[in-house]
């Protein structure tokens, strides 16, 4: 049912904007093409920033560093009723969206939809964004090189999100 909302939201918004445009006598075809012109330059502008961050994170993933961190943190985190299988996701969440989704699919397949680890991971994945990706794309598109405190805030919020996910899930699902 809830999926219906997200299915209809998009076409509804588009129709609404076009209708209001026509009613207000905006030359919608001319304005559309005028606005769309920028699409190319914005997408091309972010390439150098994307290359920097995605190459860095791909190398980090390939090096097995995340597994090493996960092994290192496991004894500590299992004390807080955190299942071992969900630890890699917590580390990957801020770094790589595709890796996180891949890990989540793997866990869901391995443990089944009813496992506590699957549900905890589902909440972690669903409630957050890939901080590094968002920052590099958004800042990259306008050529910002000094992020100031943006990364720190993003990572702190991710950390709070994970803590909240662990608390809320252990309260609802355990």
Task: Tell which positions 91-130 bind other proteins, by CB under 8 A.
Answer: 101, 104-105, 108-109, 112-114, 118-119, 122-130
54-73 residues near other proteins, rule: CB under 8 A: 54-65, 67-68
Residue 80 near other proteins by CB under 8 A: no
Q: Could you say which residues in the range 133-172 bind other proteins, by CB under 8 A?
A: 134-135, 137-139, 141-154, 156-158, 160-161, 164-165, 168-169, 172
Among candidate residues 167, 81, 67, the one with its CA nearest the CA of residue 117 = 81
Q: Which of residues 9-28 bind other proteins (CB under 8 A)?
A: 9-10, 13-14, 17-18, 20-21, 23-24, 26, 28
- Provide, rounded to whole angstroms, the least separation between the CB of residue 12 and other proteins: 10
> CA 163, CA 35: separation in Å to the nearest integer?
42
Q: Tell the smallest beta-carbon distance from residue 109 to other proteins (Å).
A: 6
CA distance 54 to 56: 5
Burial 70-102 (b: 16+ CB within 10 A, else e): beeeeeebeeeebbebbbbbbbbbbbbbebbee
């Amino acid at each position: 049912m809830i999926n219906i909302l997200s299915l209809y939201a998009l076409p509804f918004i588009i129709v609404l904007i076009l209708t209001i445009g026509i009613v207000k006598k905006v030359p919608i075809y001319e304005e559309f093409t005028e606005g769309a012109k920028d699409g190319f330059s914005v997408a091309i502008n972010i390439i150098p920033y994307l290359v920097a961050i995605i190459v860095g994170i791909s190398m980090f993933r390939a090096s097995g560093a995340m597994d090493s961190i996960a092994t290192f943190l496991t004894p500590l985190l299992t004390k807080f009723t955190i299942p071992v299988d969900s630890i890699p996701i917590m580390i990957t969440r801020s770094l790589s969206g595709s890796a996180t989704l891949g890990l989540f699919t793997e866990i869901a397949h391995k443990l089944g939809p009813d496992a506590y680890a699957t549900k905890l991971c589902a909440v972690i994945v669903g409630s957050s964004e890939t901080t590094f990706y968002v920052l590099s794309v958004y800042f990259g598109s306008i050529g910002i090189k000094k992020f100031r405190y943006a990364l720190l805030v993003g990572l702190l919020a991710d950390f709070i999100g994970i803590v909240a996910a662990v608390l809320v899930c252990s309260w609802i699902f355990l």
